[in-house]
């Protein structure tokens, strides 16, 4: 890599980890979770094989208790996923105490009760996490290929992969001294997968180092050729994927940004995607104002 990612380790006064620098691959699917399940399991199997099956050693089904992820537990969990019983799955690595490798899945497509509506805002959402040490050791080319391998089986409508804060906290609604890191490094995402699974719909979460686009947004952009015609920067490439989908790559490696600024190619991509970008409608609490939320959402535009 030409430039290593920033080293960010946020901790409580007692030393308990809050957040660390990482890379996250997020994919969103507007299909019922029973339909998503076989493809999801192929992607999870690939992720586990790349890391080593023993790295993700703990799991939680439906977001409750954590148990050891041995072979028998994994086969049981696979059965629950295929039957559509598990709407929330979490896998994690506990060796370092920081969950450096982790997977989160929310199978929330359709109405929360009853059949899917005509235009549901909910999606099935999955995130695959890697520490930045993995990125540095294996290089951005390897990580990009891994992201494409994980995305390929999934019927995604959109997705993104890039640097992020690995945390169980919602940093956007955290104390201001934590939230400042989000605005300082606008290329680093803040995980909010559970809320996105309920509200994203057909929108695009954010442009990133890798931005995955499927239907309907790609069709509204005129397909791969229409999207290419709107992008002028030599730092942006559009690669077609099977099933009328593409991955848009900005630069050779992910960028965190510095002092609130990102390379111009990110702004160009953000402006092309602006009509389809997701906007949060609800404030969770008063620590974040509507203006602050808008500033965060438009950090790659303004």
If you write DSSP's letter for every residue of the chain in order, what string do you get?
A: --SPPP--EEE-TTS-EEEEEEEEEEEEE-S-HHHHHHHHHHHHHHHHHHH-TTTS-EEEETTS-EEE--HHHHHHHHHHHHTT--SEEEEE--SSSS--SEEEEEE--S-SSSSPPSS-S--EEEEEEEEHHHHHHH-HHHHHHHHHHHHTTS--SEEEEEEEEEESS-GGGS-HHHHHHHHH-TTSB---HHHHHHH-TTSB----SEEEE-TTHHHHTTHHHHHHHH---TTEEEEEETTTEEEEEESSS----BTTB--HHHHHHHHHHGGGB------SSTTS-HHHHHHHHTTTT-
**pLDDT of the residue at 114:** 47
Q: For the residues 214-242, what does the mean pLDDT come to? A: 97
Domain locations in the chain?
Answer: 19-297
Q: For the residues 20-45, what does the mean pLDDT come to? A: 94
**pLDDT of the residue at 192:** 85
Number of CB atoms found within 10 A of residue 275's CB: 11
Digit-coded pLDDT (tens) for 98-125:
678 999 999 876 655 445 555 678 899 9
Digit-coded pLDDT (tens) for 141-198:
999 999 999 999 999 999 999 999 998 888 887 777 778 898 999 999 987 898 899 8
**What are the backbone dihedrals phi and psi of residue 171, each rounded to the nearest 5 degrees, phi first?**
-65, -25
Number of CB atoms found within 10 A of residue 193's CB: 18
Instruction: Check pLDDT > 70 for residue 225.
Output: yes
């Amino acid at each position: 890599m030409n430039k290593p990612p920033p080293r960010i380790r946020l901790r409580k006064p007692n030393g308990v980890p809050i957040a660390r620098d990482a890379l996250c691959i997020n994919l969103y699917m507007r299909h019922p979770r029973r339909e998503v399940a076989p493809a999801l399991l192929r992607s999870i199997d690939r992720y586990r094989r790349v890391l080593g099956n023993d790295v993700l050693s703990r799991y939680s089904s439906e977001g409750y208790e954590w148990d050891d992820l041995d072979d028998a537990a994994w086969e049981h969990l696979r059965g629950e996923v295929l039957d559509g019983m598990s709407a929330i799955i979490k896998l994690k690595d506990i060796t370092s105490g920081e969950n450096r490798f982790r997977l989160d899945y929310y199978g929330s497509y359709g109405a929360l009760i009853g059949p899917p509506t005509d235009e549901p805002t909910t999606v099935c959402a999955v995130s695959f996490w890697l520490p930045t040490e993995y990125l540095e050791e294996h290089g951005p080319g390897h990580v990009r290929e891994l992201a494409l391998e994980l995305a390929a089986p999934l019927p995604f409508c959109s997705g993104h992969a890039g640097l992020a804060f690995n945390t169980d906290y919602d940093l956007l609604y955290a104390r201001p001294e934590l939230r400042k890191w989000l605005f300082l490094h606008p290329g680093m995402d803040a995980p909010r997968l559970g809320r996105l699974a309920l509200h994203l719909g057909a929108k695009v979460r954010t442009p990133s180092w890798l931005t995955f686009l499927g239907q309907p947004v790609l069709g509204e952009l005129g397909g791969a050729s229409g999207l290419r015609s709107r992008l002028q920067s030599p730092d942006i490439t559009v690669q077609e994927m099977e099933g009328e989908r593409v991955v848009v790559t900005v630069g050779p490696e992910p960028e965190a940004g510095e002092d609130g600024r990102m390379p111009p190619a990110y702004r160009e991509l953000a402006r092309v995607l602006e009509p389809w970008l997701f906007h949060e409608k609800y404030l969770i609490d008063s620590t974040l104002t509507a203006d602050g939320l808008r500033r965060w959402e438009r950090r790659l535009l303004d």
